[in-house]
Amino acid sequence: MKERQQKNKLTDKEEEMMLLFWQHGPLFVREVMEMLPEPRPHVNTVSTFVRALESKGYLSHEAVSGSYRYFAVKPIEEYRKRTMGEMIRNFFQNSYKGAVCSLVEEEMLSVDELRELIDMMESNTKNKKS
């Protein structure tokens, strides 16, 4: 099972390209190329990445005017949830509390922002009960 998860794991470059599909919707390889920062990779390189993403089950394609337009088949929320879960498991001993404490300690999340999050959660809990 772990080997299968490793195969479906995205590299940094694959993740960068997937973000384009999640943000912009269906794209042709040339459109992906245009959105990448300079220096841009060769079209064959981008095409190879796109096909790898398709083989990993993140993208699919449709034929449009003799070319392929690719689109995301896995929603970003699914990827975010899985990636966050792996990070929490691997770096914080499966403790979400530990992860939040780390964000506060590293000053990436202020105490005021933490209070705001608590207020939002309490509000959501009250709305669900009503």
Note whether 53 and 18 are within 8 A (CB).
yes
Task: Give the pLDDT confidence score for residue 80 in this predicted structure.
Answer: 92
Note whether 79 and 18 are within 8 A (CB): yes
Task: Please say if the pLDDT value at position 124 is more than 50.
Answer: yes
Q: So what's the pLDDT on residue 4?
A: 46
**pLDDT tens digit string along 21-71?**
999 999 999 999 999 999 999 999 999 999 999 999 999 999 999 999 999
Q: What is the pLDDT of residue 53?
A: 97
- Give me the pLDDT at residue 6, please: 52
pTM of this structure: 0.76
Place of tokens 């699919």: 60
* Residue 69 parent element (H or E): strand 67-72
| Other C-beta atoms lying within 10 Å of the C-beta of residue 70 | 24
Preceding omega of 41 cis (within 30 degrees of 0): no
What's the rounded Cα separation, in Å, for the pair 88 and 5?
A: 16
- The span from the CA of 96 to the CA of 39, in Å, is 38
Question: Tell me: the pLDDT tens digits for 65-100?
Answer: 999 999 999 999 999 999 999 999 999 999 988 998
